Amino acid sequence: MRGTEYMQSKRFAIYTRISRDRVGAGLGVERQQEDCEALVQQLGGTVSAAYSDNDISAYSGKHRPGYEALLASIKQGQVDAVAVWHQDRLLRRTIDLENYIDVCQRLNVPTHTVKAGHFDLATPSGRAVAKTLAAWAAYEVETSTDRVKAAKLQAAKAGKSSGGNRAYGWNQDGMTLNEAEAPIVREIVDRFVAGTSWNKIALDLNARSIPTAKGKMWTAINVANVAKLKRHYGIREHNGQEYEAAWAPLLSRDKWEDLQLAIKRGQALHGKRTYARVHLLTGYVFCGLCGNRMKIINAQQRDGSYSPAFSCRKLDHRGQKVGCGKVKRKKDPVESLVIDCIMYRLDTPDLTAMLATRESDDDLKALVRDHESQSLRLQEILDLYSTGELTFAEYRTAKTSAQDRLDALGSEIDRKTSRNTIGLIPAGQSVQKAWEKADFEWRRQLLDVLIDKVLIYPKQPGDGRARFKQWIFNPDRVEIRWKA
Ligand SMILES: [Zn+2]
């Protein structure tokens, strides 16, 4: 050991990680951090940096931004030593360890742990200890996963319930029928087989104030999912395999066949699902009377032809009251009016300047990083489900919340980048020209930068005589709320 090594205080990097695994379970990042700081102090060093990863199992081998940053700063010589709570916070896989040893050995950076003391990766014996610890950690994870998997498979083969969220029509034990809900399951299946749509059944149940298993309103998808639950028909599913259930079925296998036929018939009848076309103003138009977001419908004209119109709908797809249902306006003149107003507004210098200011790249990068780790999280949820560590119900709940967060981040990024895109109106080109040349996406982005909402108010006496271009239409009944 060189004599100068402890002469000046060593720069320590602290690494903490939260994971769901059992080793060191429940120890929060703050607690790990405090313990490590105490250790650094005890060793006479100073903390120069702290890195952390949250809720990502080291064993799964996923990207860990905190760990990567730690390695990078070691490589750049910014760190003299590393402090972690336990080695397995840092390294669980032997392949990680090889890489870590390689870097630390080369740069003579030791690692100290609160739990297992100092392991000196510069010596063969230190490395052997570290490798053994990593091998044992991996073994422990593998065997506990195997044990859980084996237990689940055994339960499935015996036809026992998998636990988890309560299925509609059944009690929490998964073995006995829920007296109130079981007849509803029968009704749903019978009615669908008889030709009633999922949607109609959902509206009906909501009208009768019958809630879902979670106490919510029904949607067509909920209803279909309940009907398709294999457990009703005495089938226990596990990882794509089917087993004879240990509970008494609510519906016969014949019913299951009927249901499959009815589903096929429905698909043949209605074809593939079509998605609503997105119009320029889709999502921006609201009812001036009640504030409800207006939908585009095909409205019949006096001459019998159909043309798109904004409409305030009374009921949503679940049959829940959402609007007054009193305001309706042809789409084309509204769109044309809004475009005219945008052109007029954009022809002012201060607005052009506003559009030229770009979001700072740092904000955007942080968002992109968030987005990245969130999509890793989503992938991880899928992995946990595919290995049977999550039930389908748990998977769906976890996936929905992760997906929502991911979508929110995605649209935030879109918004910020759209601002940047709009900054690129070619010099010397008028907004009018840029608009004419631009594609639909660009126009939607521009709209999003400029417009908060468009309100449409009810017609008033005399509006029948008002003209706007080729339409019978009174522009005074439309209000544009600007963002900028
Ligand atoms: Zn309304």
Q: What is the pLDDT of residues 167-185, one digit of tens each?
A: 999 998 888 999 999 999 9
**How remote is the CA of residue 283 from the centroid of ligand 1, in Å?**
15
Q: Average pLDDT of 207-214?
A: 90
| Averaged pLDDT of the chain | 78
What are the pLDDT digits (tens) for 57-75? 544 556 677 888 888 999 9
Per-range mean pLDDT, top range of 22-31, 72-81, 106-115, 127-136? 72-81
All residues with CB under 5 Å from ion ligand 1: 287, 289-290, 292, 312, 323-324
| C-alpha torsion sign, points 350, 427, 359, 451 | positive
191 CA distance to ligand 1 middle (Å): 33
Q: How far is the CA of 315 from the centre of ligand 1 (A)?
A: 11
N-term to C-term CA, the chain:
65
Distance 199 CA to ligand 1 centre (A): 23
Structure tokens at 402: 């992760």
Q: Are 51 and 69 in contact (CB under 8 A)?
A: yes
Whole-number Å distance, alpha carbon 326 to ligand 1 midpoint, is 6
Q: What is the pLDDT of residue 24?
A: 43
Centroid of ligand 1 to alpha carbon of 459 (angstroms): 12
Task: Give residue 6's pLDDT.
Answer: 45
Residue of higher predicted confidence among 205 and 154: 205
Query: What is the Å distance from ligand 1's center to 324 Cα?
Result: 4
Determine the longest span between alpha carbons in the chain, in angstroms: 98
State in Å: Cα 339 to ligand 1 middle.
23
Looking at residue 254, what is its pLDDT? Answer: 82
Q: How far apart, in whole angstroms, are the C-alpha atoms of residue 219 and residue 233?
A: 22
Could you read off the pLDDT of 142-164 as tens digits, one per residue? 666 666 666 777 777 777 777 67
Alpha-helical regions (H) of 242-312: 253-270
In angstroms, what is the span from residue 129 Cα to ligand 1's centroid?
Answer: 71
Distance 335 CA to ligand 1 centre (A): 19
pLDDT (mean) for 23-32 = 60
Going from the Cα of 443 to the center of ligand 1, the distance in angstroms, rounded, reads: 27
- Give the residue, 307 or 143, on which the prediction is more confident: 307
Q: How far apart are CA 63 and CA 223, in angstroms?
A: 39
* Cα 456 to averaged position of ligand 1 atoms, centre (Å): 9
Which tops the pLDDT comparison, 339 or 95?
A: 339
Query: Within its chain, how far is the Cα of 318 from the centroid?
Result: 23
Q: Per-residue pLDDT for 328 more than 70?
A: yes
pLDDT score for 272 = 37
Distance from residue 312's CA to the centre of ligand 1 (Å): 5
Position with higher pLDDT, 91 vs 21: 91
457 CA distance to ligand 1 middle (Å): 9
Task: Read off the pLDDT band of 301 (50, 70, 90).
Answer: confident
Determine the distance separating the centroid of ligand 1 and the alpha carbon of 154, expressed in angstroms. 56
Q: How far is the CA of 167 from the centre of ligand 1 (A)?
A: 37
- Express the helix, strand and coil content of the chain in percent, nearest 5 each: 50, 15, 35
Give me the mean pLDDT over the 449-471 stretch. 92
Its pTM stands at 0.37
For ligand 1, the distance from its centroid to the CA atom of residue 278, given in whole angstroms, is 21
* Enclosing H/E stretch for 241: strand 241-244
pLDDT of residue 1: 39
